[in-house]
């Protein structure tokens, strides 16, 4: 009797039913939902990076004009002080408070290297060399970001990223030569722009681990505040020069602080928290292209034909660096 019940129970669990319960080889299950979530996140990161690139491109044009009345250090301090007020207000409204201790090493390094050193060096460099040469040297930054990210952040060195960086840098070289003035570039100016490129790369690599412990707004707000503290020695110059400068210079400082600093650096941190430093750095090759276009519209500076060729190379380089490798689908 017992044996017959056992046999009937075994028959109830037929091999066909067990086969149905087991997942088939090659099926993805919930993976499509995960992939779509990643794709949605990537689009959000690209949108945030796009806002950053547009605003940073406008900053190059504004810095060029404001630099005629305000010195490099004073301009950096005014920009960061304005950014600190805007970001501080948003931080209070969002009630995010002070970042945890684990985020502070990255915030301190990025605050000094990127918000402090980068802005002063870039302003000073652009006052000594032409915009084309400056943009050429500054575009060493993405290469440094990819190298440091692959080494320190263990992001690796994907072939597509390396090819994209090479194409983007080649395009930036063409744009730089096309928009550069004739004559020899100042060695000091080139060195300052190189220092700015290094500062931005170090700042990005320091920000990445900090964003694992704090929000993009927190990292940007306190990094900006540290940069402002670094630039405090220029406070006297800022007061004197703003008093003697036209009102347009003050408006340009406010614009630089509110948009290319407070907003653009926040959207950059948001994008950085959702992608690798190397891939995000490659998108900055679009900055010189947009600078040429903005200068064309705002300053009536007609770009050379070489600028369009360089711009096309920059676009191709960014597209290649951002391209996703094809996933191998397992055959059933």
CA separation for the pair 330, 312 (Å, rounded): 37
In a domain, 35, yes or no: no
User: How many C-beta atoms surround the C-beta of residue 59 within 10 A?
Assistant: 24
Q: Compute and round to an integer the Cα radius of gyration of the chain.
A: 25
> DSSP code of 128?
T
Please indicate, yes or no, if residue 18 is contained in any of the structural domains: no
What's the pLDDT score for residue 101?
96
Q: What's the pTM?
A: 0.74
* 208 domain residue, yes or no: yes
Closest CA to 137 of 88, 197, 89: 197
Residue 46 lies inside a defined structural domain of this protein: no
DSSP designation for 303 = P
Q: Are 78 and 255 in contact (CB under 8 A)?
A: no
Cα–Cα distance, 233 to 150 (Å, whole number): 36
Total number of domains constituting the chain: 1
pLDDT at 129: 74
Residue 186 lies in a domain: yes
* Domain carrying residue 84: 53-322
Does a structural domain hold residue 21? no
11 in any annotated domain: no
- Reading the chain (332 residues) residue by residue, the pLDDT tens digits are 444 444 444 444 444 444 444 444 444 444 444 444 444 557 888 899 999 989 988 888 888 889 899 999 999 999 999 999 999 999 999 999 999 999 999 999 999 999 999 999 999 988 887 665 666 677 776 777 777 767 677 666 677 666 766 776 776 667 666 655 545 556 787 788 889 988 988 999 899 999 999 999 999 999 999 999 999 999 999 999 999 999 999 999 999 999 999 999 999 999 998 887 767 767 777 777 777 677 667 666 655 666 566 656 665 765 665 565 554 444 43
243 belongs to a structural domain: yes
């Amino acid at each position: 009797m017992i044996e017959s019940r056992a046999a009937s129970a075994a028959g109830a669990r037929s091999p066909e039913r067990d086969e149905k319960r087991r997942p088939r080889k090659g099926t993805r299950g919930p993976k499509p939902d995960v992939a779509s979530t990643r794709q949605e996140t990537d689009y959000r990161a690209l949108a945030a990076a796009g806002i950053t690139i547009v605003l940073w491109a406008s900053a190059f044009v504004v810095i060029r004009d404001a630099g005629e009345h305000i010195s490099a250090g004073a301009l950096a301090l005014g920009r960061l002080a304005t950014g600190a007020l805007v970001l501080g207000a948003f931080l209070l409204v969002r009630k995010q408070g002070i970042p945890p201790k684990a985020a502070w090493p990255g915030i301190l390094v990025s605050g000094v290297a990127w918000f402090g050193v980068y802005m002063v060096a870039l302003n000073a460099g652009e006052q000594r060399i032409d915009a084309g040469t400056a943009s050429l040297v500054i575009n060493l930054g993405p290469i440094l970001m990819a190298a440091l990210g692959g080494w320190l952040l263990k992001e690796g060195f994907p072939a597509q990223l390396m090819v994209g960086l090479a194409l983007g840098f080649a395009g930036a070289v063409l744009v730089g030569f096309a928009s550069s003035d004739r004559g020899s570039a100042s060695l000091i100016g080139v060195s300052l722009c190189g220092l700015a490129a290094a500062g931005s790369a170090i700042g990005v690599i320091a920000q990445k681990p900090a964003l694992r412990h704090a929000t993009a707004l927190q990292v940007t707000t306190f990094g900006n505040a540290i940069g402002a503290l670094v630039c405090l020695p220029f406070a006297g110059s800022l007061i004197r020069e703003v008093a003697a400068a036209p009102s347009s210079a003050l408006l340009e400082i406010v614009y630089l602080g509110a948009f290319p600093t407070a907003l653009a650096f926040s959207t950059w941190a948001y994008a950085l928290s959702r992608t690798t430093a190397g891939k995000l750095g490659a998108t900055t090759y679009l900055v010189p292209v947009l600078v040429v276009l903005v200068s064309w519209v705002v300053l009536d500076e007609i770009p050379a034909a070489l600028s369009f060729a360089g711009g096309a190379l920059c676009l191709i380089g960014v597209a290649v660096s951002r391209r996703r490798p094809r996933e191998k689908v397992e055959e059933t």
